[in-house]
């Protein structure tokens, strides 16, 4: 049964605080994770990278951006532009997140420079500094949802509902990126960043921040010169008005599940989605499988899912079904930050929500 949190239950999610030291002491940092046994030959087949699927999906993405962006420009000044900018925003602010992610892993294309080009473009669109987030995401996979180690925990406990609403519109991301880019352009890194970004990459972080600053300043100058928001509607603002779906995808991955576990079956969700959402998300709805075997390309994740599903919790039938679980848990965690969903494995009883302290007492 849930309860009010006793004093001191709020944890320190920074990467330089006491939780980071506890993770090291408890063997949770850079540890060995559980993996479902998959025959070596089959896994090798699934890990094969190809240029074809990513070239197709990238071409469709860029075509969607070009057509919707042009239509938004063509109908600018009338209400007819609204649906086109809605589509453009989703391609820009949501689909770019999945492209950033997959090319950052280096698994989308077989050809390295293709991964690098799309990674740089998508990183700019989603406002993720490429050299910072490449190393941040590597840590996320090494120490997934380990408090004090993972820099990409989407919602800390207890969650703030007002902050979550702002995140839906990308405002915290805008503020954080603006501060970060300004700091990096000035040649400075935070103490947290220095824990996961190698010194050899620092100069690249600074250079990219300066290039980004120039692009945004030129876009703003064009808007002022033309006395029009149109340049900003095409560059920059789509990250805000089109990123809402990306944030919902992000919430569905880990929020409400266990912290400080070395089993991705306990802290990741797999959710069945329709073909359109899977295209925008590049199959990251198979998120448990992706974390368990991160070197399997996105286009092979459905096959990987079939190979491991008997050893994993049952998938959620839809994004709606996942949020029917997530929303009540988020509300409960405001009163009890230790509350979480314990996912069933194999033929276990239906999943139950419980406190981590209760689970540890078993």
Which residues neighbour 324 within 8 Å (Cβ) at sequence distance 6 or greater? none
Helix, strand, coil tally for the chain in percent (to 5): 60, 5, 35
Rg for the chain (alpha carbons), in Å? 21
Give the residue among 235, 265, 271, 264 at the shortest CA–CA distance from 250. Answer: 271
Provide the β-strand partners of residue 355: 339
Q: Could you tell me if 247 and 167 are in contact, meaning their C-beta atoms sit under 8 angstroms apart?
A: yes
Q: At what angle do helices 112-126 and 96-105 cross, to 10 degrees?
A: 140
In DSSP notation, 199-228 reads GGGHHHHHHHHHHHHHHHHHHHHHHHHHT-
CA atoms within 13 A of residue 166's CA, in its CB half-sphere: 12
Provide the β-strand partners of residue 340: 354
Please tell me the distance from the alpha carbon of residue 282 to that of residue 293, in angstroms, as a whole number.
16
CA trace torsion 254, 259, 264, 268 (10° rounding): -10
Task: Name the token pair of 111.
Answer: 């050809």
Sequential pLDDT tens for the chain (362 residues): 333 334 446 889 999 999 999 999 999 999 999 999 999 999 999 999 999 999 999 999 999 999 999 999 999 999 999 999 999 999 999 999 999 999 999 999 999 999 999 999 999 999 999 999 999 999 999 999 999 999 999 999 999 999 999 999 999 999 999 999 999 999 999 999 999 999 999 999 999 999 999 999 999 999 999 999 999 999 999 999 999 999 999 999 999 999 999 999 999 999 999 999 999 999 999 999 999 999 999 999 999 999 999 999 999 999 999 999 999 999 999 999 999 999 987 643 344 444 443 433 43
């Amino acid at each position: 049964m849930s309860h009010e949190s006793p004093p001191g239950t709020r944890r320190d999610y920074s990467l330089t605080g006491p939780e980071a030291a506890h993770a090291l002491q408890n063997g949770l940092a850079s540890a060995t994770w559980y993996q479902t046994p998959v025959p070596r030959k089959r896994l090798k087949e699934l890990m094969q990278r190809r240029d074809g699927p990513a070239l197709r999906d990238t071409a469709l993405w860029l075509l969607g951006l070009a057509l919707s962006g042009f239509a938004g420009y063509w109908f600018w000044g009338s209400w007819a532009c609204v649906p086109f900018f809605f589509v453009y925003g989703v391609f820009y602010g949501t689909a770019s997140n999945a492209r950033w992610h997959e090319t950052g892993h280096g698994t989308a294309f077989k050809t390295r420079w293709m991964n690098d080009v799309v990674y740089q473009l998508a990183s700019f669109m989603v406002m993720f500094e490429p050299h910072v987030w490449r190393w941040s995401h590597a840590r996320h996979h090494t120490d997934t949802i380990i408090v004090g180690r993972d820099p990409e925990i989407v919602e800390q406990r207890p969650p703030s509902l007002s902050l979550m609403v702002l995140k839906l519109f990308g405002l915290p991301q805008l503020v954080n990126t603006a501060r970060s880019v300004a700091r990096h352009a000035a040649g400075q890194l935070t103490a947290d960043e220095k824990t996961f970004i190698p010194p050899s990459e620092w100069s690249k972080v600074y250079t990219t921040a300066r290039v980004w600053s120039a692009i945004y300043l030129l876009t703003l100058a064009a808007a002022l010169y033309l006395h029009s928001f149109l340049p900003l509607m095409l560059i920059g603002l789509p990250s805000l008005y089109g990123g809402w779906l990306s944030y919902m995808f992000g919430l569905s991955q880990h929020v409400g599940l266990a912290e400080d576990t070395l089993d991705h079956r306990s802290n990741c969700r797999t959710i069945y989605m329709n073909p359109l959402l899977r295209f925008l998300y590049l199959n990251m709805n198979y998120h448990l499988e992706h974390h368990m075997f991160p070197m399997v390309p996105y286009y092979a994740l459905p096959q990987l899912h079939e190979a491991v599903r008997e050893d994993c919790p049952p998938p959620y039938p839809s994004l709606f079904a996942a949020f029917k679980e997530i929303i009540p848990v988020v509300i409960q965690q405001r009163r009890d930050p230790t509350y979480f969903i314990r996912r069933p494995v194999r033929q276990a009883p239906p999943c139950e929500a419980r406190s981590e302290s209760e689970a540890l007492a078993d």
